Structures are given as structure tokens and as C-alpha cells.
A and B are shown apart, each in its own frame.
Chain A
Amino acid sequence: MNPWLEKQRHLIDFTLASLGRRKTKNIGLLLAYTLLVFVLASLTLFTHALRSEASFVLAGSPEVILQRMVAGRHDLIPPNYIEKIGRIRGVQKKEGRLWGYYYDTVLNANYTFMARSADEVADGYIMVGNALARERGLAAHNTISFRSYSGKLFTFEVSAVLSPDSELLSADLVLLSENDFRRFFEYPAGHFTDIALSVANPQEVRNIAAKLSSALPDSRPILREEVLRTYQSVFDWREGIVLTVLAGAILAFAILAWEKASGLSAEEKREIGILKAIGWETGDVIRMKTWEGLLISLSAFLLGFIAAYVHVFHFDAAVFEPVLKGWSVLYPRFTLVPTVDGLQIATLFFFTVFPYTAAVLVPIWRAAITDPDAVMRA
């Protein structure tokens, strides 16, 4: 085998033996380090997943939603309202939407009922979101009954369970036909919940909103870009809170690393002296300690990251949920679809592995460049 490789193997062997010799110290360090990576990684994975859920939701939503306001509150769109909008340049499509919330006493959760055109969902059938299907134990061709707000029982057959591409979007969704929707909620004929307008050119959105407001003074246009911005600032704000709390933990870790680094024990200094005296080069000592730093920080990073992944995507970020997910109380329960961003991993990696390795190496380097004759005088 190549001597260079052999040498690295020797160095790693020695490093592993060294780590084993200072077990409690190194395990403590590894735990603290893993915990830090875990918390940071949970945070980034969680907010990233939420962000991509949100943009997924918004990508599918229309550029402008028009609501009618009565006494400052959202009200139904009356018949012929859509026609009143008339032709506005840049608006590709306008359609009335029908949706509402339904409280299910079985699960104590709110569902979103939404009407779809007859060619998507036939009368008597529904499509249900993934989380809902899971909680109520539904599969295609099952039937389910809902008691409407007026007390009547409606039975539907499940035609399909929605794909879980984005659970936040579809978790609690029930899609049904327009006829069924109107009958179930006793929705007045010809009325709609709101109006969705699609606009091809993003530059025109604000113009169109202004025209809508003047044409229909009792309406309120909601722009997708504004919702997006609100979401972003809410996410940023919450991430900020958590980061502030975390700053303490990061600081504690920095102190720990620094202490470990600068407080190179007399025993370690002696060992470096011995290794140099018996023929190790300064570079060998530094390489060995680099391996040590890398082994600790890489395993902490891996352990912390994997734990965070499991925490966020299998346990719904249970630790952070109260802080981070406060605005989505509407949704009964959902599991985030795992998304991992390479750049985020790289950033996290850089800010945890790199400073630690550097902090460890500086004092080692100082100890390693001293003359080895001191070992002759114990």
C-alpha cells in the first residue's frame, strides 16, 4: 500500500486510541456539539421546509384574489359580481371560487371544503387530503358521512386521496362538486366565496389591483406577492426569535471549544513533546490533531443532522412547534415533506465544523512548533 495512505491510517488509529483514552471529556464534548448541530439543523430544516411548503401553496394560488367586504368583514360574492368587473387588460382568467371550513367533531379539527368543477369531482364523490385520510382511515372507494351545519347527514364516496406533494396545502382538504358544496353548506345559489384572477405579467398586478378597487369599491384585492412577503417576514421573525434564544447556546459552545482549545492540558502538551522527540514531525502532530478535530466535528455534525432530520420530518419538529408553527393553527396536523437544501447544509457545516477544527488547531500548532528537548527534562 501507498506509504502516504498507511501513514494517514496510522494517524487515524492513533487519534481513535487518543479519543478513547479521554473518553468522558470527549463524549461530553461530542454531546454538546451534537446538541448544538441538532438545534441549528432542526431550525434550518424546519424553516426551509415551511418556506418551500408556503411557496408551493402560493405557486398554485392565483395572482389576485378578490374578496367582497361588508362592514369591514369578508362577505359572499353576490351573483353577477364577476360580470361587473368587466374586461381588464392583463387578466387572463377570472372565476368564482367556493370554499369554506368544516369542523369535524370526530377529530376536533377543521377541514377546508372546496368546490371543483364537475369534470374533476362528480356529484356524490370527494377527494381528501393525505393527513385527513390518514386520521380518518380513508382510502379510495370508502364512504364517509359528514353532518352538515344544518344537521343533515351527507354521505360521500372517496374517489381519490390527494398526492402528498405538499401536505401543508392539501392536508385537511376535501374537494367536492359544486352542487354538493352548495347543498352541504346551503350556500345561496349564484354566490361565491371569492374571485380568483390570474395575471400573466407580474408587473401588471398592482395596476390591476388598483383598477379592481375603483371598479368595485366594496372589494378587497389580495395580491399573492404581498401574501408571500407577509409569510416571509413571519418566518424571518420567528427564525429570529429562535436564533436569539440559540445565541446563548452557540456562545456556550464557543466557550467550550475555546476552553478545550486554549486549555491544552499539560498531559497533551507532554504527549506532543514525546511524539516529536521520537521522530514525529510538527506536521504529523498537526495532521493527527486535525483528524481528531474532524472526527469529533464530523460525527457531531452527522449525528446532529440526522437527529434533526428525524425530529423535523418524523416527529413534526415537536420541540419547536409551539414557537415556529403558531400561525398555522388552522391545519389539524401535518407532516412536512422532507426537503433539504444543499446550500443550507453547507452553511451549517461551515459554521460548526470549521470554527471548531480551527479553534483546536491553533494551540496544537503552537505546542507542536516548540523544540522537543523539553521532554528530556521531566
Chain B
Amino acid sequence: MIELSNIKKAFNQGQPNEYWALHGIDLALEAGKVTAFRGPSGSGKTTLLTIVGCLSRPTSGRVRFKGEDISGLPERFLTDIRRQSFGFVFQQFNLIKGLSALENVILPAFPTGRPRHELVTAAEGIFDQLKLGHRSTAKVEWLSGGEQQRVAIARALINDPEVIIADEPTANLDTALSKEFMSILEGFTATGKTVLLTSHDPLVVDSTAVHRVVGMRDGRLTED
């Protein structure tokens, strides 16, 4: 589904503080599976996910998504792909304060121009699945950490993407909530979604919900 060939990424290229975060990554990721990236801090996991999720471009190398080379596409098209095909769950949740849970969830669908009532119905459906229905009108800053994360997950699902990308999804959760997150993940694979996540947490990496673990160190893949 996603093929990376010889991906390199430099920050501040050509400047004295030039830094190569990725040194040539070759990787094929299967559809419908949960893949976890594991590695020490600074090994390039987040950087790799931003490239796969069309949040940034590789300095060199190719990214193929469903057989199509997307590394050279202009920003507009990358944004379209990102919106349609990728849903993000960030470590800090990155919800917009002052808005209700429901408002936050339907935000990614605004550029599609789908009518509001349709979006609200879809969001309510997702809330019910995530047992969050009773909190939909609450402002996000009043929600607990676990509730905030479920709002972030709901937001990642609103455009019905094929791929869910989650960077350190359990870093801010306790054991019980982390386990709950993993069971939500299993639900995703059941509906055929592809999941990419990074984690230091053995509870995540060793979970039966994870099909494949990819190790990273110093911007390179390690055998695992």
C-alpha cells in the first residue's frame, strides 16, 4: 500500500546546522495491518511518519501510495491526499481549545464542503462507537486525557481515511487507557484500516493488536 524507497530527510539543508534525520529508508507497508515503529528518541520515527502522512516531503527518495508516486506532487494535491486518506492522532492530541468535542471532530471535513448536518450525524456515530456520546458538546479543555484522546481519534476518522497515523498515542495515558486504545486499534483493523504508530511503550509494541514492529536507530531501519 505504501512503499518507501531510499528516503532521506535533511533539516536546515545547506546551513551550518544541517541535520540528516533519515539516511535512506526502504520499506513497504501492507494495507489493513498495524505497524509499530520503535526506536530510541531522535531515531527519526516522527520524521518518517510526517513523510508517509504527506505532512512533509523527503529531501530525496520516493513515496508511493497505492502505486502512485506522491513525492513530487504540489502542495494542493498532497493536502487532498492527506485529508482523504490519512487520519492523524497526535501525541499532544492537538485539539482546538474553546471548541466543543463535536466541533473539533468535524473540522477536517470542512474543506470537503459536506453539509453540516451530515457531518454532525457522522460524528455522532463515531462518538457512540468510542463511548463518547455524552461528552460531545463539552469544550475539549474540560475533558479528561482519555476522553481527549478519543476525541482526537474521532477527528482522525471523520473523513473515513484508509490509513491512521498515531505518533506516541499512549504517551499521555495510563495503563488502563492504553489498553483501551489498543482495543480501539483492533477495531480499526477489523474495518480494514491501515494503522501506523510509533511507541516506546512495551504495552503497545508487544500487544497482539500490532502485526509488525519496525525498529529504527539513527535514521536507519534495524533488523527486528
Contact = CB atoms under 8 A, between A and B. Distances in A.
Interface of A: 1-7, 9-11, 13-14, 17-18, 20-21, 267, 270-271, 274-282, 284, 371-373, 375-378
A376 B98 contact: no
B83 A377 contact: no
A6 B83 contact: no
Contacts of B111: 7, 279-281, 284
B50 A279 contact: no
Interface in B76-120: 76, 79, 82-84, 88, 90-92, 94, 96-99, 103, 107-108, 110-116
B59 interface: no
A279 B79 contact: yes
Given A10-B116, A275-B107, A21 B91 contact: no
Given A275-B107, A373-B50, A373-B56, A3 B113 contact: yes
Contacts of A2: 113
A376 B110 contact: no
Nearest to A22: B98
Given A278-B88, A279-B79, A371-B55, A376 B112 contact: no
Nearest 6 Cβ contacts at the A-B interface: A279-B83, A3-B113, A21-B98, A378-B92, A10-B110, A7-B113
Contact of A11 (B49, B90, B97, B110): B110
B128 interface: no
> Interface size bucket, B side?
20 to 34
10 contacts: A5-B113, A6-B113, A9-B116, A20-B98, A277-B82, A280-B83, A280-B108, A284-B110, A373-B47, A378-B90
Interface of B: 46-47, 49-50, 55-56, 75-76, 79, 82-84, 88, 90-92, 94, 96-99, 103, 107-108, 110-116, 155, 159, 167
A199 to B, nearest CB: 68
Contact of A375 (B90, B103, B110): B90
A4 B167 CA distance: 33
B22 to A, nearest CB: 13
A278 B103 contact: no
Contacts of B167: 376
A376 B90 contact: yes
Nearest to A281: B79
A372 B107 contact: no
A208 B83 CA distance: 82
B102 to A, nearest CB: 11
Contacts of A13: 116
Contacts of B83: 278-280
